[in-house]
Structure 1
Amino acid sequence: MSAADHGGTTPLTVAHVIHSLGAGGAEAVLVELARAAPSAGIRLVVVGLSDAVSDEGIDNRVVPLLREQGAVVHELHSGRYDATAIARLAKVLREEHVDIVHTHLKHADLVGGLAARRVGVPSVSTLHVIDIPTSGMHRLRVKVAVVGRRFLSSVVIALSSAQRAWYAQYAGVAAPIVVLPNGIADPQVSRDRDQVRAGIGVPRDSVLALCASLMRPEKGHADLLEAVRLLPADIPMIVAMAGDGPLFEEISAAVRDDPALAQRIRLLGFRSDIADLIAASDFVIQPSLEDALPTSLISALAGGRPIVATRVGGIPDIVGPGCGLLVQPGQPVALSAGIAEMATTVTSDAPALAAIGRAARERYETLFSADVWVSKLRALYETVIGGNNIRRRIVLVEFPPSGGLYQFALQLGEAVARAGMSVELVTGPAPELDSREPDCRVRSILPTWHPTAGADAPAWWRKARRVVRAGQHTAAWAVLLAYLLRARPDVVVWSAWRFPIDGWGVRAARRLLPKTVLALVAHEPRPLVEQPGQEGMYKTSSTTARALAPAYADLDTVFVLGESAKDVLVESWPISAPVHVIPHGDEGILAQNPVPGAETTGPVALSFGTITAYKGIDTLCLAWPSVRARVPDAQLVIAGSLSADIDEAALRAQVAALTGVSLQTGYVPVADVAGYFARARCVVLPYKRSSQSGVAHLAFTMGRPVVATRVGDIPAVVRDEVSGLLVPPDDPDALAEAMIRVLTDAELAASMGKAGAESLAESASWDEVADRFLRALPAARRPSAR
């Protein structure tokens, strides 16, 4: 990536202002940034306001490190209350011709923000701590600092979702803030693993765990000492503690005075070779009581090392699913148990250890690599300099208030809100789930209906009801347009257009909101047949096509969930807007409690979701007798609401003729979903066609393998022979053979289910989906749009 990739050959000059340039996490972050900044066309100027002082005197240790990486460094040597500091800093900013100022920590926020105002350039601020007040006066200081940031900074950068939530408590939910975690360059290891371990006195047969952190009270070193005392004596283990700080002498004395600690702990003091230490270790420990975003854990991800850490601050944002173990802070017993469990994994479960390593490395490359970090920073700087609103108002429109599309929209909205946007999900009455994020609000204003409402009504009433619902849907568009005209959001995003009124409504929205970005998440690129008596699987009405085509042409950007869907979309509609592929996130919103592994179940297959013609229930029923003949105790559960294109009487008659099949019709409430998957060994998707399947992601979220057909983008999600088995569509024999394999091999089912869960953790977290979604949204409406 070059400067030219970011708008031209002229670098963007950014002045980073910090209180001092001694030891500390914020200072170390600047060194990492200096290494990576040139790849994003950023010219880095670093200004240290004051001198850091240690017992040995002035400690500006990162100054030479910054200069080695090419950063321009200015040291002002100002006192904390030096009234001339603002003017002196402003002089530096003018001389360096800075484009934007980036401040770090409270003192620099004030001085740097005022100097930026004086020079006439914008400023942004990064939060590095979560400052929990311990007294009334402390709370007042925190509030003053937050107000100062909000007044002086165009936007505040939080390093984690927990930090953003803390800031919003004081600044308000409308305060401009984005979550943008720090990244690090890929660590370069300079020494052999055995050499490093020998150098710190680690026996060859011992497990080595590393804790790399400044020794301050909030870092939890006292809990780590107690956790080490509690470790079983038969675990051959050494814990290396790298870092200095105000508690170093106290920790040293505690280790010297306790033979059990002295045997197991190696105190290393300040180290500049953290990359070598991580590479030499078996896993990394972080026992913090408070922590914004510990860089050592990001380094652990980069090195593919498992992590045992406390569930506090920004740590859960780093230690994603499959990357390690999280325990409650301030509980040495739980920390000790986690350390012992990870040590056992290291010594006795090589496949599990390898899977953790893969998940950790994938998370680093996706979210925390230096290139990703500086690219996002550059984009943020350009947005601020351009005067654009960082906190965009995004409206997601989902007419049905329940079901898979609603659940997708809600989870996307929550993740987009965590990224700093203001989100409203506009939907129908009594939504089945509410938002868990304060900046994502569910607005239930549309006179629509739940997709499965009245599914058991008589056929004559269902037919008559179509007229009623057509009126409701038209009224919903009228309500939506009135709301959008009042709210005037920056972005409007739909997920499904099925009727002519949808096309006409989008055209009206374009005329009413000429400056708003219009977008679509096209779950299904072509409208599906949903009523009985219609041929084929896609609607072929010329009226529908003529109404929807101009709506697609009016879009500013389109999202699909796979390459196959992209091809179908482009072939079907007159789209000139960019089409972006984003992943489908997990279905964690439906799995609040852990589900036992697939190996704990009997031979039960589950077909889950709306029962409709294209999902191939007829093929599944034809395959089942062969399964039952080979697996006499096999059970098949078909659970979901009936679509209008299914003849219920015929389906019940077909199922009644089969042995071991349970048909459970009706919409499955959210609270009951996990129970169906907990009892199943595998999930079956015998689709005749599909662009994507949320049920596959739900199965992987629950740790269940998937037997599916090779249609649409399903092969991109279900990896054949890894997370499931793929067969041709409309092939009962092949489907039966695949089901038999999984139902008769509990270990295979468990390993495939685990692989599916890991695939979601590695590449389909909702925060990653939201990041890709936001990066693809245009900053403004396309000039070429009509």
Structure 2
Amino acid sequence: MKILQILRAPVGGLFRHVSDLTKGLHAKGHEVAVVVDQLTKDTQTDDKLAMLAPHATLGIHQIPIPRLFGLADLTTPLKIRGLVRSLEIDIVHGHGAKGGFHARLGALGLHAKAFYTPHGGALHFSTSSPAGFVFHTLEKLLVPASQKIIFESAYAQRTYNEAITQVGARGVVIHNGLDETEFKPISSDNTYAFAFVGELRDLKGVAYLLDAFAQLVKQTDRDLRLLLIGDGPHRAQFEDQANLLKIADKVDFWGARPARDAFAKANTIIVPSLKESLPYIVMEAVAAGKHVIATDVGGISEIYGPRADQLIAAADSTALCQKMQDALALPSGEEVPDSILFEHVRSNFSTDRMVDGILAQYSAAK
């Protein structure tokens, strides 16, 4: 088959998902093209796109896709339709709210079948906001144009059905996953007591992490350090907060770097998100043999499975501080701190299973 993957921002977990899917489809003999926004990127984007290029044999196409609605949204669907026709695309798969919008408009009335994976974006908008009202209205209107809506978590499917509209048999859950080679503990030099990996924006709960870390620093005479890997629109805000809390000398902002850089520096990874769908960083940290402190939001409880009772409430700096205090008492040097959690993730969240599940949906539509 000839398959077109569309996403707006080639960064973070969403891009990881599309990359893994593209590589998996290519390995199974399918031809793939990828469309990304030509303006949105971080310091790793160009290198990641270059690494993906050999697997996207129909090309990586950079087209303007604004985060909120703009003039480009009137012309981009026409460009997508042009690609569908010229490349003789069979399947168009949009990822994220804007990717799904352009995928379904781009395939409308053509031979190609349209698929959509929300990735949490549309779910994070409040219906009471102007942007949320527009996105949710468009989501409802475009459901009939979707061959299938593939949710990456049961949480996303349930929330979409409750907050936007019932999708019925069009909806299917296929979890993200990791490659088997990633399930290998990574040793740390413990330069940092804790590390965060993710986009630096409010929804990731970084403000609560900084508050919790400041509390912990006051409670102990240990020389603790916190590493934050990632970039985003609220980085300056969080740097200012660290200064106000008088912990700036103990907190390092490294910008966008591979998650493995954090794993090599800290044995405890913190995911303090306020909202999520199915974050890769939780799976990646568990697979790397790290102790993970995470909030009970989105599909994280699905990743934790039998260990879901370990999760804490979001937006609770005191609870987070206590978990961080507990983590300091854990013995160091253990390759896998929680073998039950490790085996649960290894058994239920694999790239092969994800690719096979999505490909089966494509094949049924074809």
Give TM class, smaller chain.
0.7 to 0.9
Deviations 1:407-437 (A, max 9, x none): xxxxxxxxxxxxxxxxxxxxxxxxxxxxxxx
1:295 aligns with 2:288: no
Deviation at 1:20, TM superposition (A): 4.4
Give the secondary structure class of the aligned counterpart of 2:306. Answer: coil
Give the secondary structure class of the aligned counterpart of 2:92. Answer: strand
Deviation at 1:81, TM superposition (A): 3.0
1:604 aligned residue: none
Distance 1:354 1:17 in 2: 37
Residue number among 356, 371, 383 corresponding to 2:352 in the alignment:
371
1:120 aligned residue: 111
Deviation at 1:219, TM superposition (A): 0.5
2:313 aligned residue: 328
Distance 2:91 2:167 in 1: 25
1:45 aligns with 2:36: no
1:783 aligned residue: none
Aligned Cα RMSD in Å?
A: 3.1
1:244 aligned residue: 231
Residue number among 325, 338, 343 corresponding to 2:323 in the alignment:
338
Contact 1:216 1:246 in 2 (8 A): yes
Uncovered stretches (5+) of structure 1, i.e. residues with no partner: 1-11, 386-786
Distance 1:13 1:235 in 2: 57
2:215 aligned residue: 230
Distance 2:58 2:167 in 1: 36
Distance 2:209 2:235 in 1: 14
Contact 1:189 1:279 in 2 (8 A): no
Distance 1:269 1:102, change over 3 A: same
Distance 1:217 1:121 in 2: 38
Distance 2:181 2:144 in 1: 37
1:615-694 to 2 correspondence within 5 Å?
none
Q: Which amino acid aligns with 2:88?
A: H
Deviation at 1:288, TM superposition (A): 0.6
Distance 1:173 1:188, change over 3 A: closer
Aligned residues: 355
Distance 1:277 1:39 in 2: 30
Q: Which amino acid aligns with 2:13?
A: G
Distance 1:51 1:237, change over 3 A: same
1:44-443 to 2 correspondence within 5 Å?
44-48=32-36, 50-53=37-40, 62-78=48-64, 80-82=70-72, 83-129=74-120, 130-133=123-126, 135=128, 137-169=130-162, 170-172=164-166, 174=168, 176-186=170-180, 193=187, 197=189, 202=191, 208-231=193-216, 232-234=219-221, 237-263=224-250, 265-271=251-257, 273-322=258-307, 325-347=310-332, 354=336, 356=338, 358-385=339-366
Q: Which amino acid aligns with 1:37?
A: L
Contact 1:133 1:142 in 2 (8 A): no
Deviations 1:578-597 (A, max 9, x none): xxxxxxxxxxxxxxxxxxxx
Give the secondary structure class of the aligned counterpart of 1:345. Answer: coil
Determine which structure has greater relative contact order: mean sequence separation of CA pairs < 8 Å that are 6+ residues apart, divided by chain length: 2
Distance 2:132 2:252 in 1: 38
Distance 1:268 1:341, change over 3 A: same
Distance 1:55 1:173 in 2: 34
Contact 1:18 1:103 in 2 (8 A): yes
Distance 1:85 1:70, change over 3 A: closer
Distance 1:145 1:314 in 2: 24
Distance 1:70 1:122, change over 3 A: closer
Deviation at 1:299, TM superposition (A): 0.8
Q: Which amino acid aligns with 2:350?
A: S
Deviations 1:237-296 (A, max 9, x none): 432210011111222233345444522x2221110x312432543122100111112111
1:708 aligned residue: none
Give the secondary structure class of the aligned counterpart of 2:199. Answer: coil
1:16 aligns with 2:5: yes
Deviations 1:2-54 (A, max 9, x none): xxxxxxxxxx3321012343x34322322233333334444322122x42247
Contact 2:276 2:298 in 1 (8 A): yes
1:35 aligned residue: 23
Deviations 1:48-90 (A, max 9, x none): 2x4224799xx76643232154554332534643444333322
Deviation at 1:216, TM superposition (A): 0.6
Q: Which amino acid aligns with 1:159?
A: E
Distance 1:302 1:55 in 2: 25
Distance 1:379 1:301, change over 3 A: farther
Deviation at 1:379, TM superposition (A): 1.4
Distance 1:189 1:73 in 2: 31
Deviations 1:160-181 (A, max 9, x none): 2221111112212636211112
Distance 1:302 1:345 in 2: 18
Deviation at 1:225, TM superposition (A): 0.3
Deviation at 1:125, TM superposition (A): 0.2
Report which stretch shifted further, 38-47 or 370-379.
38-47
Distance 2:99 2:139 in 1: 13
1:448-527 to 2 correspondence within 5 Å?
none
Q: Which amino acid aligns with 2:150?
A: I
Contact 1:46 1:71 in 2 (8 A): no
Contact 1:285 1:308 in 2 (8 A): yes
Distance 1:32 1:319 in 2: 22
Deviation at 1:300, TM superposition (A): 1.2
Distance 1:289 1:71, change over 3 A: farther
Distance 2:59 2:199 in 1: 24
Distance 1:294 1:333, change over 3 A: same
Distance 1:292 1:374 in 2: 18
TM-score, L = length of structure 2 = 0.85
Q: Which amino acid aligns with 2:166?
A: G
Deviation at 1:223, TM superposition (A): 0.1
Contact 2:42 2:231 in 1 (8 A): no
Contact 1:17 1:46 in 2 (8 A): yes
Deviations 1:728-781 (A, max 9, x none): xxxxxxxxxxxxxxxxxxxxxxxxxxxxxxxxxxxxxxxxxxxxxxxxxxxxxx
